[in-house]
Structure 1
Amino acid sequence: MHNLNVGRRAAFGVAGAAVLLLSLAACGEKESDQPGAGPSVTASADSNLAAKVPDAIKADGVIKVGTDSTYAPAEFLDADGKTVIGFDVELFNAVAQKLGLKAQYESAPFDAILPGVDSGKYEVGVSSFTVNAERLKSVNMVSYFSAGTQWATKKGNPAGVDVENACGKKIAVQVGTVQLDDITARSKKCTDAGKPAIKIDQYQAQSDATAAVVSGKDDAMLADSPVGAYAVKQSNDALQLLGDIYESAPYGYAVKKDQQAFADVLKEAVQAVIADGSYKAALQKWGVDGGAVTTAEVNPSV
């Protein structure tokens, strides 16, 4: 979950996803059985909502989106190495369509997206950003999904990782995420109690964090719950989830702090795709409908 300082969350990413999808294919797994297979979910434009989009946003017909495309199944690169896909992408495409616009994605490091929104480089950040008080100081956020944190380790937990006592273990996390804050706090508890610190390995891409656990370089990882579950499912039995999902919180689309009107119409567009069924269809297609919400909010209390 991307926190923020910046960030969110954690992911599985293109390199790891590609390797594990290939291994699944080698075992006879049909591509059509994979999450995300099938035609894209679409939503019809709403002229009333489109009229509310600020002129500066709709002038060129597109919404410029900053995203960290290493976070499957939320946002990651397709087999062509260029096209950004995932449930976050599919859902925001429907939101943009509801506003009569097209979403245009630009891949960026996770910790560069919110500064890019603030500077105007991106008109919106769509990257599994967990809504938290720190982020709300710099951007407006529109909630659209709910996720928690979950751990994953190698099948059989050969390192004997205990989520509640990981002192001395090697743990992988993505840079700038709420998981980094989480594991840092856990390590401090270890050292305060006179136990060995947790060795925290930070990775720019979630795919690299996942690969480090698969290879045995690290003992376990923390990631957003849909990301961890997807990584395990795609790992061809190399990984397993560890412990329960905890600290569930909303994901939010990020827009500039001075663009309240844009945030408001984004909220209405999310509510509209919830109402017309395209929201549910997008989440079900990717197998993440457990995180569905019924109401979108601007800057929800956290």
Structure 2
Amino acid sequence: MTKSKLLLAGLLALVLAPVAAFAQALPDLGGRQVVVVTENAYPPLQFIDAKTGKQIGWEYDAMNEIAKRLNFKVEYQNTSWDAMIQAVSDNQYNIGMTGITIKDDRKQKVDFSDPYMRSEQFMLVRGDESRFTDAKTFGAFKDGLIGAQAGTTPFYTAVYSVLDGNEQNPRIKLFETFGATVQALKSGDVDVVLTDGTAGKGYVDASEGKLKLIGGPLGTEDFGFIFPKGSDLVKPVNAAIAALKADGTFDALNKKWFLDYKMGQ
């Protein structure tokens, strides 16, 4: 073999090596049934399409692709956010997904997958809001109310990064779903909702100027799927997540749900 052919062979090996690594067969779960629970209240990650009544979103697409590649059958069920982590911990479900932030205290109850998405928190307000422009000026605006779900990252960000650290602060109004907080914002019942930037952008784009994001990011969070402690699904799902990141599938889903899709809410 000539030197040029050796060089070409070496270059091809370098180029193809990462592809081959991720092309290796992922674990085959043999068609087993896996029960995945979600809330369907966090567009564009997961929600009910108002036109079709179907469950759709970034997480559904990602989980369906993971199931396809690992050869398992998904059964989707629904529960409220405040019940989800405990229910998964109690083995009522095999996997939980609803934009769940990976946090050390939650790891005491459930196992997390590797992160599938990184997000930052922003302030979502009405389009004509002029009384405050960021977290500092909102904190000083004593009449301002924040809508949040108890126990969520936006709730704790509101408490500790926007207000005074008091989790009972009456300036926080609690709602059962994220969608309900946005509706309360639109109707004037609250003045701010905290949301990750990607979901917030979706709401803004669909609002025809009625909503906007203000201020800078209030914190970075990584989202992961949750499993009962010791679940044998963690390792294969992590392998699938790595493959979906490597081959551009997650990038395509980001474009589909955060850039191309306009939410009808």
* Common fold by TM > 0.5: yes
What corresponds to 1:200 in structure 2? Answer: 172
CA contact (8 A) 2:44 2:258 kept: no
Point out the structure with max Rg over C-alpha. Answer: 2
Partner of 1:152: 124
The answer for the alignment partner of 2:49 in structure 1 is 78
Any stretches of 5+ residues in structure 1 without a counterpart? 1-45, 192-196, 290-302
Work out which of the residue numbers 183, 199, 203 in structure 1 matches 2:158.
183
Partner of 1:118: 89
Counterpart CA distance in 2 for 1:99 and 1:91 is 12
1:98, 1:273 within 8 Å by CA — same for their partners in 2? no
* Match in the other structure for 2:10: none
Query: Aligned in 2, Cα 1:145/1:162: closer, same or farther, shift over 3 Å?
Result: closer
- Equivalent position SS for 1:188: coil
Matched to 2:54, the amino acid is T
SS class of match (1:201): strand
C-alpha distance in 2 between matches for 1:159 and 1:217: 16
Give 1:246's aligned amino acid. L
Q: 1-side partners of 2:213 and 2:175: how far apart?
A: 20
Query: d(CA) in 1 for partners of 2:70 and 2:259?
Result: 24
Moved more, 120-129 or 177-186: 177-186
Deviation at 1:161, TM superposition (A): 5.2
Which of 201, 208, 223 is the equivalent residue of 1:236? 208
Partner secondary structure for residue 90 of structure 1? helix
Distance 2:71 2:50 in 1: 28
For 1:124 and 1:230, locate their aligned partners in 2 and report how far apart those are by CA, in whole Å: 26
Residue equivalent to 2:72 = 101
TM-score, structure 2 normalization: 0.80
Cα displacement (A) at 1:103: 2.4
Amino acid at match of 2:164: K
Q: Does the C-alpha gap of structure 1 residues 283 and 103 become closer, same or farther in structure 2, counting only changes over 3 Å?
A: farther
User: TM-score, normalized by length of structure 1?
Assistant: 0.70
Q: 2:26 corresponds to which residue?
A: 49
Instruction: Give the alignment's Cα RMSD to 1 decimal.
Output: 2.3
**Structure 2 unaligned regions, length at least 5:** 1-22, 261-265
CA contact (8 A) 1:139 1:256 kept: yes
Shift of 1:117: 1.0
Aligned residues: 231
- 1:149-169 CA-to-partner distances (Å, cap 9, x unmatched) read 111111131443541242321
> Which amino acid is 1:149 matched to?
Q
The answer to whether residue 231 in structure 2 is matched with residue 254 in structure 1 is no
Whether the aligned pair in 2 keeps the contact of 1:173 and 1:223 (CA below 8 Å) is no
Partner of 2:9: none
Q: Which residue of 2 aligns with 1:133?
A: 104
Q: Work out the percentage of aligned pairs sharing the same amino acid.
A: 23
Classify the secondary structure of the residue corresponding to 1:79.
coil
The answer to which structure, 1 or 2, has the higher relative contact order (CA under 8 A, 6+ apart) is 1
* 2:147 paired residue number: 172
Distance apart, 1:136 and its partner CA: 1.0
